Amino acid sequence: MTQGELARKLRVKKEVVVRIEQGRYRLRMRLLLKIAHVLGRILKVTLIKRKGGV
C-alpha cells in the first residue's frame, strides 16, 4: 500500500503519513485505531508505571 493510498483510507493528508513514518507526528488514539483497522490489525495498548512517578 502506498503512502497516498493509506492517507486516503485514513482520510488524512499524505504529509501526515510521511511524518508518522519519520516519527515526527504525535499520534492520537483515534488515528492509531484507524491505522490498525485499515491494516487489518488489533491495537494493543499497555500502560506501564514510571519509576518514581505516578
What's the domain range around 39?
1-54
Read off the CATH number of the domain in which 29 is found.
Answer: 1.10.260.40
Q: 0.85 cut: is pTM over it?
A: no
Say what angle helices 3-10 and 29-38 make with each other, to 10 degrees.
Answer: 120
pLDDT band at residue 50 using 50, 70 and 90 as cut-offs: confident
Number of domains in the chain: 1
| 22-44 burial code (b ≥16 CB/10 A, e <16) | eeeeeeeeebeebbeeeeeeeee
CA atoms within 13 A on the CB side of 6: 19
**What local confidence, expressed as pLDDT, does residue 16 receive?**
97
| Tens digits of residue pLDDT in 9-23 | 999 999 999 999 999
**What local confidence, expressed as pLDDT, does residue 51 receive?**
86
| Tens digits of residue pLDDT in 21-41 | 999 999 999 999 999 999 999
